[in-house]
Amino acid sequence: MELRKYENIGEQVLFDTLPNGLAIYVIPKKGFFKKVAFFGVNYGGSDRRFKLKGEWHDTPAGVAHFLEHKMFDKKDGNALAALSANGASPNAFTSSGITAYHFECTENFEANLRILLRFVSEPYFTDESVSKEQGIIAQEIRMTEDNPQHKVFQNLFRSLYAYNPIRDSIAGTVDSIAQITAQTLYYCHEAFYNPSNMVLCVAGDVDPQIVGSVAEEILPKAKSEVAVRDYGAKEQQFPASAKTEEAMEVAVPLFMAGTKLGGGLRGKDRQRNELLGDFAMNLLLGKSTPLYARLYAEGLINSSFFGGTTFFPDGAAAIVGGESRNPDAVCEAVMEEAAKIASKGPDKALYQRLKKAALGEEIRALNSLYLICNRQMTGHFEDYDPMDNIKIMEEITAGDIVEFIGSSLSPEKLALSVIRPSKGGK
């Protein structure tokens, strides 16, 4: 295994690529009782149209999420139960671009790793089990559709984007998942769940050689073709629609507003924009800023107010949201403050204070085995090294903040999604 040393943060990472294309990262943490393993797939809710073996394929919304649910089912039982019985705490998630299966444990690490690698790489679906799961996930979808927080988010991205599949829920719709069959799942597993399109990340006091040997023993030996994805037509700079409103049972109007940040960034450009974007949004409207204090004092926001950036396949957005009796006034104030910072620059003392805080958060994150593995997985798929986060943060200047805010945040680029109290609501 290749040893990578990061003297500035006192960390090491062991890296290897198996003959089948699987990337393995081991982050040694001597003396830690807990051990964490992530087995990630470069496949998420947005990967619905892809080319494999020279042919384009379109799949229903929700397949990646559905597949995540079904992977735990085995012919001889349930992998989730097997891991739990073996002392592990397992879970999984599907995002717009990634599906990840993970566990943490303090003992029986090798046995748990074997279970993880085996159940993710060996699919077992039947028409009966798929039909049963359709009913379960349909119930989840209906509950989500009745959730104002989910609705305000989805409406925002439907306003921002005309084509990108981020417009649609990762879980799909009741109608879309009804189209999924056992054969659909087998085909998508073959297309994406191959070692060349996956990564194994482990953190803790573990033997790296055991990690590599277990992976070589259990997983397929040969490389496979990696599917080419299509995320829709090129998006315009401005939102597809400026404002979306819907009535639901909420006590106070709920809102999310956002602007598109462009798409297609990879490598260090993607990494830098993620760090810069979140830092800039915190400097603009975080809890330590004058804008937050003023809006809070005026009763326009409460503790639910937030801001940040989000990145997804072929797209990214700067977002702000929360509860407010006057979302339009909040958005206007945010845009005015953004214009002020873009013109005059940020307050120097606030900039220095928040930069120190951001660096402190990055250092503390190195003690979270879960975060380390999750970031390593994401960085691998996006072709950057998350262990360089602190170095990149240190290089960010006040001028970078001004450029980001000036180019990203303006009224004509803003889309607003509002959930207002229904007449029959509270």
Q: What angle do CA 91, 94, 96 make, to 5 degrees?
A: 160
Q: Is 2 helix (H, G, I), strand (E, B) or coil?
A: strand
Beta bridge partners of 316: 311
| CA pair distance 15, 46, nearest whole angstrom | 28
Overall residue count recorded for the chain in this entry: 426
Q: Would residue 361 show up in a list of annotated catalytic residues for this protein?
A: no
Q: Is 369 helix (H, G, I), strand (E, B) or coil?
A: helix
CB contact burial 87-123 (16+ within 10 A = b; e otherwise): ebebebebbbbbbbbbbbbeebbebbbbbbbbbbbbb
Mutual orientation of helices 267-285 and 369-382 as an angle, nearest 10°?
Answer: 130
Q: Which two tokens stand for residue 114?
A: 């074997």
| CA pair distance 335, 414, nearest whole angstrom | 9
Q: What angle do CA 369, 122, 212 make, to 5 degrees?
A: 45
| CA pair distance 359, 274, nearest whole angstrom | 14
Residue type, 243: K
What residues contact residue 335 under an 8 Å CB cut-off, 6+ apart?
A: 409, 410, 411, 414
> 252: burial class by Cβ within 10 Å (0-12, 13-18, 19+)?
middle
Q: Which is the catalytic residue, given 2, 7, 11, 68?
A: 68
How far CA 414 is from CA of 166, 235, 239, 273, 295, in Å, comes to 17, 15, 7, 19, 19
> 183: burial class by Cβ within 10 Å (0-12, 13-18, 19+)?
exposed
Q: Which residues are catalytic?
A: 68
